């Protein structure tokens, strides 16, 4: 799954918190800041774990304010771990 998260999502530990949650769920992938102020998240793993992360992304960490979340399925990618780019 690839998601784009909009709102107050940069400078509020969004990527680091996403990495912690993804690791807890056993997912691989990454979270990275985009130049337009959004955060891109790529998550690969079980369907249930990916769905749980998507639900978590709707709120994010305490300091974040998620205004929009757009997710789309992507082909599974063989990634190692979850990176904070």
Residues annotated as part of the active site: 15, 33
Query: With contact defined as beta carbons under 8 Å apart, do 9 and 64 qualify?
Result: yes
Which DSSP helix (H) or strand (E) runs through 53?
helix 47-57
What does the angle CA 21 – CA 12 – CA 33 come to, to the nearest 5 degrees?
Answer: 80
């Amino acid at each position: 799954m690839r998601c784009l998260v909009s709102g107050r999502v940069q400078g509020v530990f969004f990527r680091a918190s996403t990495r912690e949650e993804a690791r807890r769920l056993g997912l691989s992938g990454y979270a990275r800041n985009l130049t337009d102020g959004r955060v891109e998240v790529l998550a690969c793993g079980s369907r249930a774990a990916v769905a749980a992360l998507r639900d978590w992304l709707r709120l994010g960490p305490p300091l974040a304010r998620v205004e929009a979340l757009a997710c789309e399925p992507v082909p599974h990618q063989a990634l190692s771990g979850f990176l904070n780019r």
